[in-house]
Chains A and B, each alone.
Chain A
Amino acid sequence: MPEKEVVLTVLFFAKAKDLSGTVQSTITLKSPIDYSSLLNTVVNQFNLNPLRHSLILALNEEYLEDSQQVLDLNNNDCLAIIPPISGGTYLINTIKVPY
């Protein structure tokens, strides 16, 4: 695969919307790229660190597996970031005063 620079559309869902502060954005990446580099770049660029381990990355509506396999990206590919939706409240000992 030839190395190239691509621009992807990024869609945010649920809590990822709150953390990134937007519903849709774009990201410039080098292709090919492996899963963990892709995750890292997206998480860092959009402030998604609290959700790092609990989100689905879906490339063109297909679940991306956490594997070594490199991904060949193209311009205008769509990357969706989907955390789980579920209610539930804090356990007392997990409450932190953030300031």
Chain B
Amino acid sequence: MDTEEAVRKVAQLKEKIRQLKEDLTNAETELETILEDRAFKSRPTDGASVRDDTIRRDVSNERDTNGAGQRGAHSTDSQVGDPASPEEIHREPNNVNQTTESDNPNGPVKVEDDCVWYGEVYSKFSKDITERYSRQILLDQVGVMGQEKLLNASVLIVGCGGTGSPCIQYLAASGVGTLGLADYDRVELSNLHRQVIHTTHTIGQPKVTSAKRFISAINRNTIVHAYQTLLDTSNACDIIRRYDVVVDACDNAPTRYLLNDACLREGRPLVSASALGLEGQLCVYNYKGGPCYRCIYPVPPPAETVGTCGDNGVLGPVPGVMGTLQAVETIKLLIGLPVMDKLLVYDAELSKFLSVKLRKKKEDCVCAHPADTQLVDYEVFCSSRANDKTPDISILDPTEHLTALDYRDEFLARRVAHTLLDVRSVDEFAMMSLNIASHATMADVQLMFAEAGECPAFLESLREDILAHRHVFVICRRGNDSQKVVQLLKRYVERHRPGVVYDIRNIKEGYKGWQKYVDNRIPTY
């Protein structure tokens, strides 16, 4: 499609929208007139007061329209509607307050709109909406106005994982009208201990689909837009623009910087939370003249100092706490309460919250001129990937790899004497390992095969055991760390065992490979 055609199409669609809007306004006016007219006609002539034992269903498509004007028209009349109207349902007077929609099929008609008359009673919201949110409408800080703001609000949640789960849950439950969900990933069994909106039934599904299903189960009024994509410079601004607030519940530095910059450009506040291990952080950026993420963390941390949940682990409720706090701040922001202007740090190990009073905007930061913010390649900027997956690397010669299948067939099946050295952590080894494997952590290995320095006696004997066989194979979780050990071992035997020929190789793809090609009954993690 060439530019001209595209421009023409946009113009045509805009015109269509304009016309539809006009039609809508006309229809609304017409409806208003009819309703007013009917209210007037149904005024009782004898002036006797009438019980509100009739429910009238009003038809109204727009949440916001009709409010004050109709209220005025109806609240001044204290009478029932036209009994002949098919939209009215008569009930026993005493049942008015006991009957619910679900247990009486002839009960009040289910209403989708928020302006409904129960006889002469005016109700801001429908019965369903009033009842559902009553406990929060009762709060002075929320009230009917606050609830209305929530119902009309839209929030984009980036990341449907550990922090995203409770945040999505509470935002949907408290009535935020529209939720956008962005996540490229699919649900895995190893997600479920912390990503509590996903279930065993949704394993393998896109997280956004699973999240959408969850939302519809707790609040079918919520409009959900699902984006099963990795946000990047090409799509972030277009998506962010459609929402009032952005919730950053992602798991990586590149996406965090991307969201910051895109929110600056589009003028959207960013409620950001992160969690790893037993710690979490929460902060609201780019709101009411406050700092942006770059003001606080101008330089991304070096990639080798950054951990992932996949590699370092995370205690389930810790992202849960952060995501819940994130929902609290988002709701406060949407209804216009003052939000947290500090960086909240949660340390679950010490059971401690620390709130750091933040700086003002940094003068030389990009946020000084938000409209000029240019999006960059964030993976390069952070020297890390915008996902939680560890890539497979190879630093060895192809001949230095041994596939899991070949290892089984050539060495295990033929009972060839060899050493299998497992270099994962103590807990990973305890969780699952091949029976034949010897174990040494990466730290042990570095001591054992170091160029110089002291080596404890127990490691020396382990080193002799390892080198007792000519065939030494190194295995780890994914086959990355083990490659470094192969290099280290080779260097060591060259120096310390001259003239002895060793066959030192890496088990390709580690236990992941074993699971994939040899035995899929072993757990993956």
Residues of A within 8 A of B (CB): 11, 13-15, 19, 23, 50-51, 53-54, 56, 58, 61-63, 65, 80, 82-92, 94-99
Contacts and interface: CB of A to CB of B under 8 A. Distances in A.
CB-CB nearest 5 A-B residue pairs = A88-B252, A87-B251, A53-B299, A54-B301, A87-B308
A63 B304 contact: no
B343 A82 contact: yes
Contacts of A84: 253, 256, 274, 281, 297, 300-301
Given A51-B302, A61-B355, 10 more contacts: A50-B302, A63-B359, A80-B356, A82-B343, A84-B297, A86-B250, A86-B274, A88-B255, A91-B384, A97-B487
A86 to B, nearest CB: 4
A95 B280 CA distance: 26
A92 B384 CA distance: 8
6 contacts: A63-B356, A85-B279, A88-B254, A88-B306, A90-B385, A97-B484
Nearest to B161: A87
A86 B256 contact: yes
Interface of B: 250-256, 274-277, 279-281, 296-311, 343, 345, 347, 349-350, 354-359, 379-380, 382-391, 393, 395, 446, 450, 484, 487-488
Contact of A86 (B251, B356, B393): B251
A96 B268 CA distance: 38
A53 B383 CA distance: 15
A54 B297 CA distance: 6
A88 B386 contact: yes
A83 B310 CA distance: 20
B391 A89 contact: yes
Nearest to A83: B301
Contacts of A92: 391, 393
Contacts, number: 149
Given A91-B379, A94-B383, A97-B484, A85 B276 contact: yes
Contact of B383 (A54, A85, A91): A91
A85 B358 CA distance: 17
A52 B488 CA distance: 29
B356 A95 contact: no
A89 B345 contact: no
B276 A87 contact: yes
Nearest to A98: B484
Contact of B305 (A58, A63, A83, A98): A83
Contacts of B305: 15, 19, 50-51, 54, 83
A89 B281 contact: no
Nearest to B314: A87
Given A23-B350, A56-B343, A14 B296 contact: no
A14 B277 CA distance: 8
